[in-house]
Chain A
Amino acid sequence: MAIISRGFHGRRPPAGRKLPPGQYETTGFPVLSAGPTPWISTDKWELSVTTETGRRHSWDWAALTKLPSETPTVDLHCVTKWSKFGTRWQGVSLDVLLADVETAAEYVLVSSYGGYTTNLPLEDLLDGKAWIAYGYDGRPLAPEHGGPARLLVPHLYLWKSAKWVHGLELREKDIPGFWESAGYHNYGDPWQEQRYRGD
């Protein structure tokens, strides 16, 4: 029973493209984050995966970029309402990174350089659904977009795709991350419009 906005016509997305509810298309690439952009040199960069038993796996920049990479083209949906179609990335699938990790955990707490965190179910990182991305549109990923490397989980709202990714902690129990603690939805499916807790 939405009220009709007198005289509002709006702009429909181009035919054939589907926008999640409440979203609009942008052709720019907006930047959203809670604080200053951290600048991390690839010499010092490291990604770690820690299991629920405390076993730690880590990759430095050389090790990450030596792994087989993919070039997914995906749509992005930000909780602040913009969607961007057909973005082109380069990165390593989480299936590759987690292939030899032994775990019974069901959840992941992702942490970033700069202190940001976000949580998601482990299964949302597997089966070709997520990448550690270090290239965007044929170039190294810019710092304001999360470079040198960010998580990319395009089927969830973009705050789950943690920029400046640093660590993945595999956990038996789920705990909320930064925005989830601040009232955002714990899961964040754009198609269900899970923006805020209670949506």
Chain B
Amino acid sequence: MARTAVSRRLGDRLRWRVAEVTERRAESATAVTLVLEVPEWPGHLAGQHVDIRLTAEDGYSTQRSYSIASAPDGTRLELTVQRVVEGEVSPYLVDELMPGDQLELRGPVGGWFVWQPEQEEPVLLVAGGSGLVPLMCMIRSRRAAGSRVPFRVLYSLRSPAELLYGPEIRQGTPGVDLTHIYTREAPQQSARPPGRITPDDLARHGWPPDFAPTCYVCGPTAFVEKAAAYLVLLGHDPERVRTERFGGGED
């Protein structure tokens, strides 16, 4: 076999596995969390993703990557999928896939856009829309590990209706300061008028650059381009700004 040279752990991690959907949870009108049971799941780091493979009856097959939303928890894995209008895969996952169904996945994948409990520096998370998913995994992993590293989170979303993980977000986590940036429609009690994220938002609710936080920015391309550029403009070392972009494609 050509794969004998590969260390066992890695080869194992990148093997396609059959996962079973055990539960689905609506997160918003357009997003759902799929709870999966993945036999022999090797565990993951906060921020990693999985590859999903769907196969039609005639053998046509396609793949997408989805961020992991849940903190490591045995063989249980949660993915949050936002429906993309006209998408090929996300509408199927959001609308069609039911408990008892199976799908193929492999992973975890990714070693750069990750947060590990051993990290001691302050953390800034900047989420645009469903870019919150891998960042939520970091928040949950921080909690699960009992870390007291201070997190600040800026979560940009169009309107309150798009809020992901509402109950958990509202309940809050000690040491995690979360600021909502509503871009189109803000709740009445909100002091900040609706509008896209600005350098001022990042200066006011993020960390001063001399605290040397690691910044994780995830969201649609245009959002990430802007937010990351603002962070650099504010004096953050580009090497401490990690980004993950999505969008531009259909899913």
Contact = CB atoms under 8 A, between A and B. Distances in A.
Interface of A: 2-12, 21-24, 26, 28-38, 80-82, 114-115, 144, 178-179, 182-183, 195-199
Interface string B214-237: 000000010011001101100000
B3 interface: yes
A81 B65 contact: yes
Contact of B247 (A30, A37, A114): A30
Interface of B: 3, 6, 10-11, 14, 18, 51, 53-57, 59-65, 88-89, 92, 96-97, 101-104, 109-113, 221, 224-225, 228-229, 231-232, 238-239, 241-243, 245-251
Contact of B243 (A10, A35, A183): A35
A24 B238 contact: no
Given A2-B53, A2-B55, A37 B225 contact: yes
Contacts of B96: 6-8
A12 B88 CA distance: 10
Contacts of B221: 30-31, 144
Contacts of A199: 14
Given A3-B103, A31-B248, A37-B228, 13 more contacts: A3-B104, A5-B56, A8-B54, A10-B61, A24-B62, A24-B64, A24-B88, A28-B249, A34-B242, A36-B231, A36-B241, A37-B225, A81-B64
A196 B109 contact: yes
- Grouping DSSP codes into helix (H, G, I), strand (E, B) and loop, the B interface class, with mixed when no group exceeds half, is mixed
Contact of A4 (B56, B64, B65, B238): B56
- Grouping DSSP codes into helix (H, G, I), strand (E, B) and loop, the A interface class, with mixed when no group exceeds half, is loop
Given A5-B92, A7-B92, A8-B54, A33 B243 contact: yes
A3 B61 contact: no
Contact of A8 (B10, B55, B109, B247): B55
